[in-house]
Structure 1
Amino acid sequence: MRRPDGSLAHVWDFLLEQADHSWNARISIATGGVESLVDRRWRSGDYAPRHRVAADEVDGPKSAESSSSSKLQRRLSYVAIPITWQDPREGFEFIVNPESASSPYGWVTANSTAGNNAIAFKGSQAGVASETSPYVFAYSFNGTADPRVPQNVGAAIVNAFYVVNSIHDISYIYGFTEATFNFQDENFGRGGQGNDRITISIQDSAYINYADFATPPDGQSGRLRLFIYDLTHPDRDGGLENDIIAHECAIGIATRLTGGGTAACLQSRISRGMALGWGDAFAEWLEQTGAIADFTLGSYVTGDQRGIRSYPYSRSPAVNPLTYQDGPPSADVHLIGEVWANMLHNVLAALTDNYGWSDNFLVDSSGPSGNVVYMHLYMDGLSIQPCEPTFITARDAFIQAELNRYGGRHYCVIWRVFASKGLGYGAYQDYVNEYSVPPGC
């Protein structure tokens, strides 16, 4: 391993699992001393609002020709919050057959919320939600009732299952596949280790006002835990806020893609903070509609329209003033993430302004539209960036991804955005804002 001072240490690398922790311990072979001890369970913040809420602010592709070819995809329907919507305030829809070719087995392999990509449950993996009628998962959500009543529990399990599977299929067409260490039990001979679908624990009893995702190496299941929030009356369920679920899943994606499936390359303070930023940026990308409006997370579960971050993600420096100088290693990891996510918000806005918006971006990853280009560069950049990325090396990987895939068509547009946030061509690791762009831009 590389130490913070740049020196190298020969280590034993252990993964130690506990109920609330997934410890990655690196022990010096030479001395037996602990070189590093990092919890791989990503705690994405306590999801309590950054501001105290007054009472009047509370919101009321290979075909399946294999030994497994008998497991055919079935047409299923789900009552859930559509993947491009944020939370129950926008409503639920009856969603018919959302599974895609990215999931040759479909999402369900029996008659419950369990399948090749994910299993969603309450309490234990036996606590899955069953079909309410043949091929249909339709639990009625009552927002005025406690989230723990049976119908609301079922609604949350089904919604989280739908969202996680949707993210599997969407991220797949942008490059997060079996060969790049995604989360699936059966990998169809396409590479990767398999046996690592995401486990989704709804209304987990470990905490309140919280969500987390543990990402072990390829071949071991990612573990998503979603909790109850007691910041409103009645309480609210994290399994019903799509941006929280997407944020957590995206941390798993970033952790697997960076470093080639080892899940060991986002452990420094800076890279862990940036992972939180990638999580926010992915959640936002799913829920934007083309105009790239200001974006907040966590407003439903907290009952605070300002959400859980210091500022909305915004094009306007008056709304979000964060720049490169706000993200040094001494900063809180959530602030580091906010700095990076706001830069990515502005990259998405600039690409969309210049190259348009595709309404089919969740099912078609081809074409020149700005939101499609953005997600390709997001995924490609994660795959090629070095272990323990910094703002500078992550920026360089994003730009190199553009050169690799598009040959520089968007090069200056992207550079101008990073420069506008202090991460310019001449920026160094000293976290001093620098606003220049490369020659020719």
Structure 2
Amino acid sequence: MPADRALPEDFHALYDAGARSARGTAPSAFSAPVSPGHLRLAGQLGDLEADYDQVTQLPHRITRRAPAGGLSGEASASAEETVQRFVTEHGDLWRLSEADAQGVEVVSVSGRGLRTVQLVQRAEGVEVFNSEATAAIGPDGAVVSVAGQFFPGAAEARSARTATTTSAEEAIALAAYDLTGVEYDSTAFSEVSAETGDSAGGSYRFYRSAEPAGGGRPAFERTVRVKDVLFPLGEQQFAPGYYLELWIEGFPAFSYVIDALGEPEVLFRKNLRADAAFTYRVFNTGDALFRPEDGPAPGSPHPTGQPDGFQAATIPEQLVTLESLLPGAPWLPEDATTTRGNNCIAYADLRTPNGHSPGDVEGRTTGPRTFDHPYDSTRPASDPANVQASLVGMFFHVNWLHDRWYEAGFDEAAGNAQQHNPGGAGLGGDPILAEGHDFSGTDNANMQTPADGASPRMQMYEFVGVAPLPSRTSNFDALITYHELGHYITNRLVGNASGLANQQGRALGEGWGDFFAISMTSQASDDFPTGAFPAGGWTDLTPTFTDNYYFSIRRFPYSADLGKNPLTFKHISNGVVLPAGPPHHPHGGGPNSAVHNAGEVWCAALWEIFVNLVAHHGHVEAERRMLEYVVGGLKLTPSMPTFTLARDGIITAVTVLHPEDLPGVWRGFAKRGMGAGAVSPPSTSASLAGVVESFTTT
């Protein structure tokens, strides 16, 4: 990307007041709207709880206050039929017409962990953008919660449509210009068949540029994936559009929706890359789950709990023999000789272009079914032997998390990343591309996550800021890889890669990522009540900063001890002064609303819950339950979420799966100010002002 080229900001025309005003669809004053269906169902149940999107004025979370209370009546023969009947009978919750309600279709059913049914709204077969919703199914087969919104008027708008005036090729050219600032000729794009690795399912079409490389325009790394959508503009108005994903050399991956009527116009834009600077590699604990260590020199929790310059010593690797954590789902075929599996392709992306190309290096076997590459920490990370060692570690991390999350409910139906989906649910052709030692940067890492059916890309960099010591790699550092993979699972589960488009959504993503990193590298012997758990360490050392194992790159370490981490809900808001007393990162700064800063508060609350569960169930069972709660909660978090909506998704998952854990879960949220009476800032807020804290559980 040119040094003077600023990336365009994320944009959503439905949530942009200027865009809606220009189109005459500005919302009326928000006055706690209640739909006819809300009044009717509330009268039937008596304890209905509904949260409304403050912009669309439609409910985007519906449940009951009674523990495990159902929304629907008697369950049908299947979860799909029960949910379909609920939407048909209660479509007026979203003010849907009969035709609108009939357009809501079941996409898939996820039966692991919290049982859920994924839905999407279509009008005459065309998907309504951002209409993904998830219904949770209780033990008795009844619907207990619906997260997400459907849009009234879509069926009528589709039937009254006029012919599109913008072609898909023109839409691609406009989006490419918007991203790069370079004009592309729309006639250079042509539709092609799905390539190997592309999803052949769903409603996508694929386009390739015929323009030769070196013509002055950045080249496309992948074919462009396009599908027709109806884009909601508010006030029951819709624009036909094209959803597309761009992977252009030198730029992060972006998704767009381009208006298909009149002059082509950007309706939606989202940077699919989530950046964060963590650094640790997988050395193994050898426990029953083959859990990776924090990194090559594990130091979490901090041994003294004070910022005293502690530096952890490197530890020896262990040889682990393992097919997978899931019976019948091996990470590699029997005759594999490289790190190329069904869930992940791990390689060193050493030179241009982006993606696997000549000159790049995959992890290689050293003998039959054996990857035995020791890492020498006295040599730089770029040493060829060290590159091999770290690629194998990175491949192990991705697959290990894949299996743990799969067990917790992130399966094919929920949109996980796999080349082949044996069960037939979801879209295949999208294994994670884990690009280690990536040529495009240093001292960082990122994750770029498209919608289901196209491969997410994790780029891990060499850390050179530790000079004069040998450079270090983020490839196999679990506290970094787990955070980055956290962006993948959260983006896939909330709005299928389009949901975390607001400031709170992005902050939640950072917090979820940190939580996966620190919780899934924790061990039973750790000091959970008072320990200091940094979200990094090994790669954060610099000549002027030696408390990397205490703070890492956050303002405070994560801890259930308020004397070490004092953050509460109000500290996501700009202008709120951080508490005096507990030591904080000497170089930490930026406004409270910055996504990494606000994300610390969300992770702190999740950590409190986890600590409570460990105290009650022990580490192994607590982790298993917490993963089900977080994955289930993600499924029930609507697009453009607030902190309290994400909280309520977890509460619903706990209510359905193990209601006996609700007191400990509520105590965790309440300790960090997200108790029962907490109020989030508006979904569209950039400053995150307006927090109302609550420290009560009822």
TM-score (normalizing by structure 2): 0.54
What's 1:437 paired with?
A: 697
Within the candidate set 209, 212, 220, 2:446 is matched to 212
Residue 103 of structure 1: how far off its partner (Å):
5.8
Within the candidate set 342, 355, 375, 2:604 is matched to 342
What's 1:414 paired with?
A: 665
Distance change in 2, residues 1:177/1:84 (3 Å) = same
What's 2:463 paired with?
A: 229
What's 2:539 paired with?
A: 301
What's 1:114 paired with?
A: 340
Matched length: 395
User: Is 2:640 aligned against 1:388?
Assistant: yes
| Structure-2 separation of matches of 1:80 and 1:134 | 21
What's 2:248 paired with?
A: 18
Instruction: Specify the SS of the correspondent of 2:514.
Output: helix
What letter matches 2:489 in structure 1?
A: I
Could you tell me whether the CA contact under 8 Å between 2:278 and 2:479 is conserved in 1? no
What's 2:494 paired with?
A: 258
Distance change in 2, residues 1:171/1:47 (3 Å) = closer
| Structure-2 separation of matches of 1:80 and 1:321 | 32
What letter matches 2:406 in structure 1?
A: Y
Residue 357 of structure 1: how far off its partner (Å):
2.4
| Structure-2 separation of matches of 1:295 and 1:196 | 33
What's 1:39 paired with?
A: 271
What's 1:364 paired with?
A: none
Residue 339 of structure 1: how far off its partner (Å):
0.8
What letter matches 2:247 in structure 1?
A: E
User: Is 2:317 aligned against 1:92?
Assistant: yes
Instruction: Specify the SS of the correspondent of 1:140.
Output: coil
Within the candidate set 388, 400, 413, 2:652 is matched to 400
Within the candidate set 484, 494, 498, 1:248 is matched to 484
1:253-332 to 2 correspondences below 5 Å: 253-259=489-495, 262-290=496-524, 291-292=527-528, 293-303=531-541, 304-305=548-549, 306-328=551-573, 331-332=593-594
Instruction: Specify the SS of the correspondent of 1:95.
Output: coil
Could you tell me whether the CA contact under 8 Å between 1:100 and 1:106 is conserved in 2? no
Instruction: Specify the SS of the correspondent of 2:665.
Output: helix
What's 1:63 paired with?
A: none
Residue 428 of structure 1: how far off its partner (Å):
1.2
Distance change in 2, residues 1:21/1:226 (3 Å) = same
| Structure-2 separation of matches of 1:322 and 1:91 | 36
Could you tell me whether the CA contact under 8 Å between 1:266 and 1:275 is conserved in 2? yes
| Structure-1 separation of matches of 2:401 and 2:696 | 36
Could you tell me whether the CA contact under 8 Å between 1:107 and 1:165 is conserved in 2? no
What's 1:239 paired with?
A: 475
| Structure-1 separation of matches of 2:255 and 2:327 | 31
1:121-132 to 2 correspondences below 5 Å: 121-123=347-349, 124=356, 127-132=361-366
Q: If you compute each CA radius of gyration, which structure gives the higher value, 1 or 2? A: 2
Deviation track 1:290-335 (CA, whole Å, cap 9, x = no partner) reads 3423211221011222311111100011111111111248710001
The more displaced of 162-171 and 289-298 is 289-298
What's 1:199 paired with?
A: 433
| Structure-1 separation of matches of 2:692 and 2:344 | 43
| Structure-2 separation of matches of 1:105 and 1:395 | 35
What's 1:176 paired with?
A: 410
Could you tell me whether the CA contact under 8 Å between 1:187 and 1:194 is conserved in 2? yes
Gaps of 5+ in 1: 49-58, 60-78, 359-368
| Structure-2 separation of matches of 1:419 and 1:42 | 29
What's 2:613 paired with?
A: 351
Distance change in 2, residues 1:213/1:200 (3 Å) = same
Residue 207 of structure 1: how far off its partner (Å):
0.8
What letter matches 1:24 in structure 2?
A: S
Residue 163 of structure 1: how far off its partner (Å):
0.8
| Structure-1 separation of matches of 2:499 and 2:536 | 27
What's 1:372 paired with?
A: 624
The more displaced of 369-378 and 25-34 is 25-34
Deviation track 1:364-388 (CA, whole Å, cap 9, x = no partner) reads xxxxx32221111001000111112
What's 2:20 paired with?
A: none
What's 2:381 paired with?
A: 147
Identity of paired residues, percent?
Answer: 27
Residue 155 of structure 1: how far off its partner (Å):
0.4
TM-score (normalizing by structure 1): 0.84
Residue 356 of structure 1: how far off its partner (Å):
2.3
What letter matches 1:399 in structure 2?
A: I
The more displaced of 321-330 and 170-179 is 321-330
Could you tell me whether the CA contact under 8 Å between 2:557 and 2:565 is conserved in 1? yes
Distance change in 2, residues 1:302/1:295 (3 Å) = same
Aligned CA-pair RMSD: 2.2
Could you tell me whether the CA contact under 8 Å between 2:347 and 2:436 is conserved in 1? yes
Residue 98 of structure 1: how far off its partner (Å):
4.7
Deviation track 1:154-212 (CA, whole Å, cap 9, x = no partner) reads 00111101111111111111111111111100101330111100111111011111100
User: Is 2:15 aligned against 1:3?
Assistant: yes
Could you tell me whether the CA contact under 8 Å between 1:103 and 1:169 is conserved in 2? no
Gaps of 5+ in 2: 1-11, 18-54, 57-231, 286-290, 298-314, 350-355, 542-547, 575-591, 681-689
| Structure-2 separation of matches of 1:222 and 1:421 | 33
Instruction: Specify the SS of the correspondent of 1:409.
Output: helix
Instruction: Specify the SS of the correspondent of 1:418.
Output: helix
Which structure has the highest helix share of the two? 1
| Structure-2 separation of matches of 1:295 and 1:139 | 29
